[in-house]
Amino acid sequence: MIEANKALFRRWMEEVWNEGGEATIDELCSPRAVAYGLGDLDPVQRGPADFKNFWRTLRGALSQLHVTIENLVAEGDRVVGRIVLEGVHTGDHLGVPPSGKKIRLGGLVEVRFENGQILEAWNSWDQLGLLRQIGALETPRADHFVKPTA
C-alpha cells in the first residue's frame, strides 16, 4: 500500500500539475476529499469541483508551471512530499497584474489516500514568497531585522 500511495502521489503531481490533466483530478480526488492550506479565503476545499477552482486559478496565473518532488516519505495511508513549484507569472488570476517574473517556491504536501483516491490533503506553501517574487509585496531589507549597534 505504501508504494502504491507514493505512486499515486507522483502521478497526481505529474498529470495534474505538470501536464494539466483535469481528468486525473476527477479520477484521483475523492468526492469526499478535503484539502487545507490552498490559499483561498475559505481554508477548506471540498471535492474535485472546489479543487478545480483552485487549480484553474493557479494555472491561469502561472504559465510553464512545473512541480518537482524533492522527497517523499510514506507511512500507512499517508504520503508527505517536499515539493518545488516553478512557473512564470503571466496571468492576473492572483489579483496582481502579470509581472512576467519567474517564480520558485517550496512547499510540503501531506496526502491521505483511501481506495486509491485522495481523501485529505494538507498543504503548506511559501505564499508570502510567491507574493514577493511577483512584486505584490516589497522584500524587507536586512537592516529592518537587525538593529545597528553604535
Which CATH number does the domain housing residue 74 bear?
3.10.450.50
- Look at residue 145 and tell me if it is in a domain: no
φ and ψ of 119, to 5 deg: -105, -40
Which residues make beta-bridge pairs with 108? 82, 124
Number of domains in the chain: 1
- Look at residue 147 and tell me if it is in a domain: no
- Look at residue 45 and tell me if it is in a domain: yes
- Look at residue 150 and tell me if it is in a domain: no
φ and ψ of 47, to 5 deg: 75, 175
Domain that holds residue 127: 2-137
Full-model pTM: 0.86
pLDDT digits (tens, 9 = 90+) for 59-100: 999 999 999 999 999 999 999 999 999 999 999 877 889 999
